[in-house]
Amino acid sequence: MAYSAFETMRQKNLERFGKDLGPKQPDLTRTAGGEFSLKDASLRFLHDRCEELLFDQKISKEEEESGIFQGTGIEKNQVPYNMQMDTNRLCLERSLEHFIDSGVAEDAYDVYFCYLEIFFGQFEKFKKTIELLSEFESNGSSLLMKHRDHYSHSVYVFALGLAIYETNTNFRKTFKSFYGFDPDDQNKEDDKKAAHLFLEYWGLTALFHDIGYPFELPFEQVMAYYEVDNRDREEVGIFLSYQDLDIMTKLGEKEKEHFSALFQKEFESTNELFAYSIFRRIGEIYGSSDDYLVDVIRRKPNRPNEFGFFMDHAWFSAVRLYRELIESFGIDAINKKHMDALSAILLHNSLFKFAIAFYKSSDDKRKEPLRMDAHPLAFLLMICDELQCWDRTAYGRNSRTELHPMGADFDFSHNAIKGTYYYDADEQEKIDAFEIKYKEWENGGEQGKAPRLKAYSDMAEKEQRFTADIEKIVDTSLIPLTVIPDTRVVDRTGKHIYLSRSNFLHLYDFAVALNGRYAHIDQETKVDQEQLQEEFEALSLEYQISNINQAKSFSKYLNAIQCFYTDRPVDFAMVKEFTPEQTQVFAPMEHERWVREHQEMGWTEGETYEKLAKDFPMDEKALREQFRMHKLAMDGDLTPERVLEHYDNLSEEDKGKDWKPFNSMLKLIKKFDGLRIYQLDI
């Protein structure tokens, strides 16, 4: 019973009304790749293994005693609290599913949003940090020689980790034992608790491991200016560094007291705290003293010349996330598992590879790869970070011309990982040319450096650099790795690419304005931005995500009526009101989006709640939420033809719900800086 609170509500409805009115159990999406594919395994983890995520039995008892539900549907106190928690988990499951299908940043946004609302309950506090990573990267990285996306990349890393936990019994047992759970999967209660803990702290580790990139990008921009003629950065000798970092690293008195009690050790800075967090996990294994680690970590941001003239974004990611956690939870809530997540982030880029394990050094200096039982979160982040090299937008000038995998299929069966990485079939000429050169190099006695075609050559050549490097970083004896390169025709139909483009920061604002369009028709001038935002934040996660998905779909609607939105000044006429002809085009499209979304979220077709609300009497909207039933929803196969027929048969009043409020939205969106809608000249 994957969504047990749904089932509890269903039985309650059966007792109250004498018939099965729902809510129904949401379906698990099965894929053509089978149960050991990335999509199937990661979704199954969320669907089955995370049952009862964040349930609160105390609240449930209070609800029974008072008869008042404490969960939020479209309004507060409409559903049981645990049912809202089930709906939140379903939102995360569906959002991850959509992202794996598309790989686009806008769908990655939903995964971040769901995770933060579920575990932090305050997306707004993290909003600028996670969105600025995407914006800074897309706008600033074109000035670099080499750079690829890290925003969608982090969500792929998150999905890989979920799939490995779900399918690899060795890792799952190791993680459970490490954090004090019974490693036996037959202990269902411990298995459930361990999965909840893994989701929370792996999400923290994976989704935020690269948020420090805005600090590395300016450094690389300076270096790129001198590397255009392929000069070695050590030869150039010029670099950017960060000084006077006490504002980021110095611990306050309450922080010092907290960590002194937690670790029985005194700390003055996050550098000391992070160093000890690493030392207590792997210091003795690698012969790295606490003092050595403090010194290395301290020098990372201000002496990049001592680290090959490279800036370590992982240091900034860990420090930035630490501050976010303190501001969100308060110091008293920070525990050792938070420190494991932060130390895993700090280790993942270069610290472990070059200052602890020395993985590219000669055999006598190189240390053993990291075992999963030494630091499970760091182990998993390192292997997933390396594996996730497909479908990453290339921003850097050289990166845009290199050959990188545009897709990948995974088989996680038999406690192993088999990855097939696909390269664009249109680039076969490059591949053939490389293979000829490589064969010539082999036949010539392998003199000099082997020909390279990054990243294809790292997977295709006999040295298998891609796999070999991973095996030097992490111990794969309990999770054997096989990598195969292949080619296929690029399919970009799932990318939803339209003319509309804006600063990524406006997606949330767009959703807030869309939400306000119903309540403030003809009253737009009387409502301010703060009120709109408060109304949005009062919604349950399901309705917030629905508004965000509608905002993302708007580029498709506008494309169909020769309009577009942008946050940049353009020489086109601004749309002040949609015409009846335009609404006739996009209204059916919005209806189809709404119908499909509701079916995905487990809503069923029906209007029984209207009659029961009159007969008992009860609140109609609350019954609708408790049944997860809607008179405008649809069951069965949603073909475009069937959905259009359904729309045509709606009353004029119901049809108006799909377009009338959008003219109100045009007025409300002006309350937010930047985003405007324009008409193409035709």
Confidence of residue 400 (pLDDT cuts 50, 70, 90): very low
Helix (H, G, I), strand (E, B), or coil: what is residue 251?
coil
77-82 own/partner pairs: CB under 8 Å, 24+ apart: 77/622, 78/619, 78/621, 78/622, 78/625, 78/626, 79/9, 79/622, 79/625, 79/626, 80/5, 80/8, 80/9, 81/56, 82/5, 82/8, 82/52, 82/55, 82/56
Residue whose tokens read 């508004």: 547
Alpha helices by DSSP H, 454-540 = 456-460, 465-473, 506-516, 529-537
pLDDT of residue 595: 96
Q: Which residue has the higher pLDDT, 363 or 270?
A: 270
pLDDT tens readout for residues 143-157: 444 445 678 899 999
Tell me what the mean pLDDT of segment 402-409 comes to: 85
Check: CB of residue 547 under 8 Å from CB of residue 532: no
pLDDT of residue 438: 87
Confidence of residue 393 (pLDDT cuts 50, 70, 90): low
How many residues does the structure list for the chain? 682
pLDDT tens readout for residues 82-94: 999 999 999 999 9
**409 vs 426: CA distance, rounded Å:** 19
pLDDT of residue 494: 57
**648 vs 658: CA distance, rounded Å:** 12
**193 vs 196: CA distance, rounded Å:** 5
Q: Which residue has the higher pLDDT, 30 or 636?
A: 636
pLDDT of residue 143: 46
Q: Which residue has the higher pLDDT, 281 or 583?
A: 281
Answer left, alpha or beta for residue 287, where phi above 0 means left and psi between -120 and 50 means alpha: left
The first and second tokens of residue 371, run together, are: 């075992």
Task: Give the closest residue to 86 by CA, choosing from 25, 3, 1, 203.
Answer: 3
CA 247, distance to chain mean position in Å, is 29
**636 vs 206: CA distance, rounded Å:** 37
pLDDT of residue 152: 87
pLDDT of residue 419: 97
The first and second tokens of residue 199, run together, are: 């989701």
Longest Cα pair distance anywhere in the chain, in angstroms?
89
Q: What are phi and psi of 492, to 5 degrees?
A: -105, 15
Q: What is the DSSP track for 381-395?
A: HHHHHHH--SS--B-
The first and second tokens of residue 317, run together, are: 């990611």
Check: CB of residue 431 under 8 Å from CB of residue 487: yes
Q: What is the DSSP track for 355-420?
A: IIS-TTS-TTTPPPPBPTTT-HHHHHHHHHHHH--SS--B-STTTTTSB--SEEEEE-GGG-EEEE
- Summary mean pLDDT of the chain: 88
pLDDT tens readout for residues 601-625: 999 999 999 999 998 888 999 999 9
Q: What are phi and psi of 419, to 5 degrees?
A: -110, 125
Confidence of residue 130 (pLDDT cuts 50, 70, 90): low
CA 392, distance to chain mean position in Å, is 14
Q: Examine residue 304 and say whether the peptide bond preceding it is cis (omega within 30 degrees of 0).
A: no
pLDDT of residue 492: 64
Lowest mean pLDDT among 47-56, 372-381, 533-542: 533-542
Element (H, E) at 440: helix 428-443
pLDDT of residue 596: 96
Reply yes or no on whether the pLDDT at 520 is more than 80.
no
Confidence of residue 490 (pLDDT cuts 50, 70, 90): confident
DSSP 304: G
How many CA within 13 A on the CB side of residue 513? 24
Check: CB of residue 477 under 8 Å from CB of residue 416: no
The first and second tokens of residue 41, run together, are: 């395994």
- How does strand 629-630 pair with strand 417-424? unpaired
Task: Give the closest residue to 475 by CA, choosing from 576, 368, 391.
Answer: 368
pLDDT tens readout for residues 254-293: 999 999 999 999 999 999 999 999 999 999 999 999 999 9
Helix (H, G, I), strand (E, B), or coil: what is residue 424?
strand
The amino acid that residue 103 corresponds to is G
Task: Give the closest residue to 459 by CA, choosing from 374, 530, 568, 386.
Answer: 386
The first and second tokens of residue 664, run together, are: 């109100």
Q: What is the DSSP track for 49-62?
A: ITTTTT--HHHHHH
CA 45, distance to chain mean position in Å, is 15
Reply yes or no on whether the pLDDT at 672 is more than 90.
no
Reply yes or no on whether the pLDDT at 429 is more than 60.
yes
Per-domain boundaries in the chain: 29-102, 402-494, 506-679
Reply yes or no on whether the pLDDT at 142 is more than 50.
no
What per-residue string of b and e applies to 618-635 under the rule 16 or more CB within 10 Å gives b? eeeebbbbbbbbbebbbe
Q: Examine residue 617 and say whether the peptide bond preceding it is cis (omega within 30 degrees of 0).
A: yes
Confidence of residue 123 (pLDDT cuts 50, 70, 90): low
Please return the burial class of 581, using the count of CB atoms within 10 Å of its CB with bins 0-12, 13-18 and 19+. exposed
pLDDT of residue 141: 45
